[in-house]
Amino acid sequence: MEDTANTVVLATEATDAEGVDTDLMSRVIPIMGAGNLKKMMSLRVLVSGMSGVGAEIAKNCILCGLGAVTVHDTQNVEWRDLAAHFYLSPSDVGKNRATCSVTQLSELNPYTKVTANTGPLDDAFLKTFSVVVLANADSQAEVLRVSDFCHENDIVFIKADVRGLFSAIFTDFGKVHKVQDKTGEEPKQAIVAAVSQANPCVVTTHEDKPHGLGTGDYVYFEEIEGMTELNSSEKDPVVYEVVGVKGLYAFEIKVDSTGFKPYTGRGLVNEIKIETPLKFKSYRESLEKPGDFIISDFAKFGRAEQYHIGFQALSEFQSKKGALPKAGCKDDAKAFLEIARELNEASKKKEGSHNVDSVDEDLLAKLAITAQGTLNPLCAFVGGVVAQEVLKKTGKFHPIYQWFYFDSLECLPEKVEDRILEGTRYDGQIAVFGKAFQQKLFDLNLFLVGAGALGCEFLKNFALMGVACGNAESNKGLLFLTDMDNIEKSNLSRQFLFRDSDIHKMKSACASRSAKVMNSELRIKASEIPVGEDTEDTFTEEFWKSQDVIVNALDNIKARLYVDSQCVKNLKPLLESGTLGTKANSQVVYPRITESYASSRDPPDAAIPMCTLKNFPHQIEHTIEWARNLFAGNFANSFEDSNTFATGDDFISSVLGSGSAPATQRERLAALDDVLALYKNGTVTFADCVAWGRKQFQELYYNAIMQLLFNFPEDAVTSTGAAFWSGPKRPPVPLTFDAEDQEHLEFIVATANLLAASMGIDQERDYKKVAELAKKVTVEPFTPKSGIKIKGGEDDETVEGADDDEVIVKRLVEKLNALDKSKLTAKKNAETGRVFDPQVFEKDDDKNFHVAFMTSASNLRAANYRIKPADFHKTKKIAGRIIPAIATTTAMITGLVALELYKIVQSLGLPAHDTKDLAEGAPRALPIESYRNSYINLALPSFVQSEPMPCKKNVTNPAKGLFYYPEGWTLWDNFTINEPNITFQQFLDYFKNTHGLTVVSMSCGTSLVYNPYFPAHKERLGKSIEDFVRSDVPSYSIKPQDKFINLVVLCENDEEQDVEIPDPVRLRIAKH
């Protein structure tokens, strides 16, 4: 076994979560892990330099629940600080930046101790911290001293600089830093289909799903038959390195298996995390020998090497002149470039020291002339990235190694001649873009859809940028915000505009109020109306056309698609973004230039096949979904049915008349009978609930499994002679109840308490008492039944059920009809008028037994099928469909989106595209290569930016029988006919005379309204299309606010060839 990679150190992740507020951090736990959150609670972090970027870093660290954050500064507030610092106001100018920030920062999280310090960074002070961050540090000598001390004392050191449109991040995690989880992804698991006797050994996996492994990953094997030499266990794994990937379903491992016994069947391969040791250079050493730079944009290849010299030259300039180069000052830029050249030439004389062939003077001059600028979007981006680096002190995720330079130089207009700083809160932005550009921001009409995590960050960004912050008397500029949700406690870990006192209030109102505090000049209107087809009377065509840009801050695809469709319809720019844990993406959608959001998006997740859920699970996701369904059946649906039955409604007739199979009817009526039998006309006790739970355990985890194995024994074969229990099908093992087994008892406790809650009796949370009650329950021995039919797979056409289903249904109906409902309803709730209280799944209450039940129910089923169990938090995430979210990712991606807004604003006021016969003109845009879509994963870390995909142009290709009119139309185009009351004949004539096309079909809604081959259709040629749609097309509703009717029109050319035209054709409405 000497070829195995079993000498690696296995990763260990903390699991102790005592003291973690799981309600507050429920969206962060799936990302960092509850144990790492506790480690974060012990971290002490210093953020020195409370400029805009320092404030962003501190804010994100506090929201993530670090133990203590000290904000430090020796400098006073300047006007330009207000352009990016959300907790400074004009009255703070001249006061210390740290002391002005600390009070509001401390309100973000009651679990984080936030203090301010204005003294020197002496060694004794520095030694009290786990992580030291220097933000926009002025003195290079001070940076070197602090970084050297941190390197020698095992303190993580991070340096972050934001200068205009340029930024630099450096990290030093010490001489030895151990990464326990580089990616944060769940370990992969696959079913083994074959293993070769070879060197290297080739493992083939079942085509149920791709193995997902990559070169350099490590795995161990379980349950292999034949080649048992590979087998080990999670507790004592023998680990093999993946040395090659041979497609989606095969990979090579570093082992010579030629002498092993042949593989004969079954088995699992499991990815396992290993500890990755990293060695970091000190800041002093890495200035000369930086190593590889992180590249975020291959269109900017080679810039990082220039910036490494440029940022050192900025520090040298600041040391000599006492300030950064003045905004737009050519003389200062010239002096700065001279320093950069001198540094580069000096480096060339040192062996191994970083240098470039020649300084890119045009590039670095732009760094110099904008360096005094302070831009909130870039501060937000860097603040998110750096705060995530701080969290990596825990060993979770891979740090930046070690330099990351980033610019958004495409934002810079070609000419800026009015960088006039007049002592306003926008000076930091004017230093980069000038006053005229700032006025465009003031006058902007922006529609922000959503006030959740993304929305809060956007509001902060826009308020500081001056979006819709112009003179109120001019009546120009408005930020319209809408969100229909209210605030929950779990929101507070990343939606930083909200406080405890806002819980249960509406997000839009609270968020707009907080944004106004940051900038009182903000002109904002808050709404609680959702955006969709049902609210087009509010969000009318006039509304959409009045907007300059739309920004999505949504968390569901349906709403995103609707907003996207309105932007396409009304030719409006859309800025789209989303997050998933440490991952984020952003997209620029620009009329006539780019594709839309709907053009390319991930396919929906595949549903779990019913047979897999019911009888053949092989992943923990399967057992969790099964447990979720069990919760709904046992504690929601059955009690809803019981209430319906008790009220006197003809429930039984509705079940019998539903058309469902006898097995389904039996299941539903039996569940009702169980509830009523347990309730005993209101005399039910908690002991009865425990007894029911104990019998449920027996039925689910022993009886049902024994019945399945009776139908399909372990040696069963299919009709083709293949082993039935193979591939994804894993033969289960029955469980025998043990009251001393914690997982068994968890199920009984959760089940009994949920029943008690549903029946309105007192609960019992004492596990010992419940265990004693459970031990007293007698269960009947199980005997398999021969009349039970079970599907053997998704393609099996067997009708599931039992031979006696119809007989049992009849008996149940007779029994239920004989009940005296007056006794049943004698103790109904006076307020609700209901007998029972069905449980509605609430994932954010950890004490209501909802997730506790699903966790135990799922893990017991996992034990049946030898699937690795999931803890409470993982079950909560999957069962609750929780989207993991963390403040760092949210702040980072909204910063990138706001940078794209600068580019869109540049185009405002330019003449529209000439669109001739098509829809109204779209705004001018910068070249597509100026815009950036982003794909970020802060865990790895990975930063990828690229220009958006252009919209597809439909080009005629006679060889393929493809004909388009007008040539090259895109998704942004449509025909608009501004002739109200046009008749069918006039419509046909218009297309023939104007465009040379013959209309062969017209549809409206789901109705075909014209086809020349239908005699009846010819009779309507003289009718008004609008009148006909109103009276004869029920599938299409013309709303009062509609201005157009949308028609789908098929055409032919003179050669009778099908010609595709833009969809839809919009016909102006005359009547309202």
Question: Is residue 10 pLDDT above 60, yes or no?
Answer: yes
CB proximity list for 823: less than 8 A, separation 6 or greater: 681
Local structure of 296: helix, strand or coil: coil
Instruction: Of 207, 255, 198, give the one whose Cα is nearest residue 231.
Output: 255
Rounded to the nearest 5°, which phi and psi values hold at 178? Answer: -105, 120
Question: Is residue 5 pLDDT above 50, yes or no?
Answer: no
Instruction: Of 727, 683, 709, give the one whose Cα is nearest residue 824.
Output: 683
Instruction: Give the residue-averaged pLDDT of 45-54.
Output: 98
Instruction: Give the residue-averaged pLDDT of 429-451.
Output: 97
Q: What's residue 605's pLDDT?
A: 73
Q: What's residue 826's pLDDT?
A: 83
Q: What sign has the CA pseudo-torsion 327, 330, 333, 339? A: negative
DSSP string for 954-996: B--BGGGTB-BSSTTB-TT--EEE--TT-BHHHHHHHHHHHH-
Question: Mind telling me the catalytic residues?
Answer: 611
3-state DSSP of 892-956: HHHHHHHHHHHHHHHHCCCCCCCCCCECCCCCCCCCHHHCCEEEEECCCCEEEEECCCECCCECC
Q: What's residue 318's pLDDT?
A: 96
Instruction: Give the residue-averaged pLDDT of 667-695.
Output: 95
Instruction: Of 270, 182, 180, give the one whose Cα is nearest residue 219.
Output: 270
Check residue 1063 and give left, alpha or beta (phi > 0: left; psi -120 to 50: alpha): beta
Q: What's residue 795's pLDDT?
A: 83
Q: What's residue 917's pLDDT?
A: 44
Q: SS3 breakdown of the chain: % helix, strand, coil, rounded to 5?
A: 40, 15, 45
Q: Amino acid letter at 885?
A: A
pLDDT tens, position by position, 334-344:
999 999 999 99
Q: Which percentage of the chain shows pLDDT scores above 70?
A: 98
Output the six-digit token pair for 670: 């039996």
Local structure of 89: helix, strand or coil: coil
Question: Is residue 480 pLDDT above 70, yes or no?
Answer: yes
Angle value at C-alpha 190, between 187 and 191, nearest 5 degrees: 150
Residues 371, 326 contacting (CB under 8 angstroms): no
State the DSSP code for 231.
B
Instruction: Give the residue-averaged pLDDT of 932-954.
Output: 97
Output the six-digit token pair for 487: 């605030």
Q: What's residue 471's pLDDT?
A: 80
Q: Amino acid letter at 180?
A: Q
Instruction: Give the residue-averaged pLDDT of 199-214.
Output: 95
Instruction: Of 486, 510, 383, 387, give the one whose Cα is nearest residue 112.
Output: 387
Residues 1026, 1067 contacting (CB under 8 angstroms): yes
Count how many residues are written for the chain.
1072
pLDDT class of 601 with cuts at 50, 70, 90? confident
Report how far residue 412's alpha carbon sits from residue 405's, in angstroms, rounded to the nearest whole number: 17
Instruction: Of 540, 440, 391, 345, give the one whose Cα is nearest residue 63.
Output: 391
Instruction: Give the residue-averaged pLDDT of 346-354.
Output: 95
Q: Amino acid letter at 829?
A: N
Report how far residue 633's alpha carbon sits from residue 383's, in angstroms, rounded to the nearest whole number: 46
pLDDT class of 105 with cuts at 50, 70, 90? very high
Q: What's residue 4's pLDDT?
A: 43
Local structure of 579: helix, strand or coil: strand
Q: What's residue 600's pLDDT?
A: 86
pLDDT tens, position by position, 887-907:
999 999 999 999 999 999 998
Local structure of 875: helix, strand or coil: helix
Instruction: Give the residue-averaged pLDDT of 799-809.
Output: 91
Q: Is pLDDT larger for residue 1016 or for residue 1003?
A: 1003
Q: What sign has the CA pseudo-torsion 914, 920, 925, 929? A: negative
Q: What sign has the CA pseudo-torsion 991, 993, 998, 999? A: positive
Instruction: Give the residue-averaged pLDDT of 840-861.
Output: 96
Question: Is residue 208 pLDDT above 90, yes or no?
Answer: no
Report how far residue 998's alpha carbon sits from residue 1008's, in angstroms, rounded to the nearest whole number: 17
Report how far residue 692's alpha carbon sits from residue 541's, in angstroms, rounded to the nearest whole number: 58
Report how far residue 864's alpha carbon sits from residue 617's, in angstroms, rounded to the nearest whole number: 10
pLDDT tens, position by position, 148-186:
999 999 999 999 999 999 999 999 999 999 999 999 999
Question: Is residue 2 pLDDT above 60, yes or no?
Answer: no
Q: What's residue 916's pLDDT?
A: 45
Output the six-digit token pair for 47: 């953020």
pLDDT class of 1 with cuts at 50, 70, 90? very low
Q: What's residue 909's pLDDT?
A: 65
C-alpha distances in angstroms, 819 versus 470, 643, 644, 685, 826? 72, 14, 14, 21, 13
Instruction: Give the residue-averaged pLDDT of 10-25.
Output: 87
Report how far residue 571's alpha carbon sits from residue 556's, in angstroms, rounded to the nearest whole number: 22
Residues 461, 522 contacting (CB under 8 angstroms): no
pLDDT class of 879 with cuts at 50, 70, 90? very high
Report how far residue 832's alpha carbon sits from residue 758's, in angstroms, rounded to the nearest whole number: 13
DSSP string for 248-293: TTEEEES---TTSPPP-B--EEEE--B-EEE----HHHHHH---PE
Report how far residue 220's alpha carbon sits from residue 472's, in angstroms, rounded to the nearest whole number: 67
By mean pLDDT, which of 415-429, 793-807, 825-839, 912-926 is the weakest?
912-926
Rounded to the nearest 5°, which phi and psi values hold at 769? Answer: -65, -40
Report how far residue 610's alpha carbon sits from residue 443's, in angstroms, rounded to the nearest whole number: 55
Quote the crossing angle between the two packed helices 686-698 and 767-775, to the nearest 10°.
70
Q: Peptide bond before 325: cis, by omega within 30 degrees of 0?
A: no
CB proximity list for 1024: less than 8 A, separation 6 or greater: 981, 982, 983
By mean pLDDT, which of 115-129, 141-155, 896-910, 947-961 is the weakest?
896-910
Instruction: Of 523, 522, 519, 540, give the one whose Cα is nearest residue 531.
Output: 540
Q: Peptide bond before 306: cis, by omega within 30 degrees of 0?
A: no
Instruction: Give the residue-averaged pLDDT of 279-297.
Output: 97
Question: Is residue 469 pLDDT above 90, yes or no?
Answer: yes
Straight-line distance from the first to the last Cα atom of the chain, in angstroms, rounded to the nearest whole number: 83
Instruction: Give the residue-averaged pLDDT of 586-591.
Output: 97
Q: Is pLDDT larger for residue 797 or for residue 474?
A: 797
Q: Amino acid letter at 1027?
A: D
Burial readout 984-1019 (b: 16 or more C-beta within 10 A, e: otherwise): beebbebbeeebebbbbbbbbbeeebbeeeeeebee
Quote the crossing angle between the two packed helices 303-321 and 140-152, to the nearest 10°.
120
User: What is the average pLDDT score of the chain?
Assistant: 94
Dihedral of the alpha carbons of 322, 328, 331, 336, in degrees to the nearest 10: 60
Local structure of 447: helix, strand or coil: strand
Q: What's residue 912's pLDDT?
A: 54
